């Protein structure tokens, strides 16, 4: 049910982290993938896939623009003959500290990449998506409620949650599903500063301490969720955002009082 042989997938934000992990997983399961990112390291993602025997094409572009989206969709259609899966994953934090004095330009840039980017990708990809296609957007637990991220980032990811729901409804009868994943704290290039600081202070054991799993997550764990949502195994799942966060969003924030 998670065999993607004969299918084509686009993954944005694939230079590293969740995007790279998803691209490698889908390719390992048979998909031809187009990986796109403004970071030229996305070429390394494509190389890793090809070295493993998979099919991949890299597009270095600003994925949150019309021209960027047209480029990666064209690469999928012309290079691999069609489009079945879109993982709109690219995102930025805008900084980790919640600031009430955030400047307008930074706030707008976070919204542009994190919210407008997925919308542009969806809008551009839809005319080329085959029947039975699947779209998966990367949201965040920070978009579900306050307390898990900076203000601009959290607001943008809340928008992604609603984008998933609204787009799924707008596609009624089209045979294309739209879902999302809401990662918790995942070790990626985006969170490297947090992980590096915790390790430097000897506090690595405190990473993820507020979730029941008592740890941070790995990109592969999010990739598995994306692959499931994009597969026929999730054929009756639509308009949903799946939290993959070790249980963080199942509770209100608190300081654990018990020991294992």
Positions annotated as catalytic residues are 153
Of 253, 176, 188, 185, the C-alpha closest to 216 is 185
Which single residue is written with the structure tokens 């890793």? Answer: 48
**Cα–Cα distance, 138 to 115 (Å, whole number):** 10
Which single residue is written with the structure tokens 């600081």? Answer: 197
Which single residue is written with the structure tokens 């976070």? Answer: 110
**Cα–Cα distance, 150 to 220 (Å, whole number):** 24
The first and second tokens of residue 156, run together, are 């943008």
Contacts 24+ apart (CB under 8 A), 73-79: 73/10, 73/124, 73/125, 73/128, 75/34, 75/36, 76/8, 76/9, 76/10, 76/34, 76/128, 77/128, 79/32, 79/34
**Cα–Cα distance, 90 to 113 (Å, whole number):** 7
Three-state SS at 219: helix
Which single residue is written with the structure tokens 């607001």? Answer: 155
Report CA dihedral (221, 222, 225, 227) to the nearest 10 degrees.
-100
């Amino acid at each position: 049910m998670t065999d993607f042989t004969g299918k084509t997938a686009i993954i944005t934000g694939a230079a590293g982290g969740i995007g790279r992990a998803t691209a490698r997983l889908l390719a390992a399961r048979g998909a031809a993938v187009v990986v796109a990112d403004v970071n030229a390291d996305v070429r390394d993602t494509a190389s890793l896939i090809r070295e493993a025997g998979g099919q991949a094409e890299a597009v270095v572009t600003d994925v949150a623009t019309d021209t960027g989206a047209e480029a990666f969709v064209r690469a999928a259609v012309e290079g691999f003959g069609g489009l079945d899966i879109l993982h709109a994953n690219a995102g930025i934090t805008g900084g980790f500290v919640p600031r009430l004095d955030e400047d307008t330009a930074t706030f707008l840039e976070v919204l542009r990449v994190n919210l407008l980017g997925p919308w542009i990708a969806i809008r551009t990809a839809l005319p080329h998506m085959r029947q039975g296609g699947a779209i998966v957007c990367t949201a965040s637990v920070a978009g579900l409620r306050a307390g898990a991220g900076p203000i601009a980032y959290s607001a943008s990811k809340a928008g992604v949650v609603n984008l998933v729901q609204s787009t799924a409804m707008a596609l009624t009868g089209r045979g294309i599903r739209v879902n999302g994943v809401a990662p918790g704290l995942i070790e990626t290039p985006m969170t490297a500063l947090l992980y590096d600081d915790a390790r430097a202070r000897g506090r690595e054991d405190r990473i993820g301490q507020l979730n029941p799993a008592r740890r941070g997550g790995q990109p592969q764990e999010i990739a598995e969720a994306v692959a499931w949502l994009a597969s026929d195994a999730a054929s009756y799942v639509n308009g949903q955002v799946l939290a993959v966060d070790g249980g963080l969003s199942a509770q209100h924030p608190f300081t654990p009082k018990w020991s294992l």
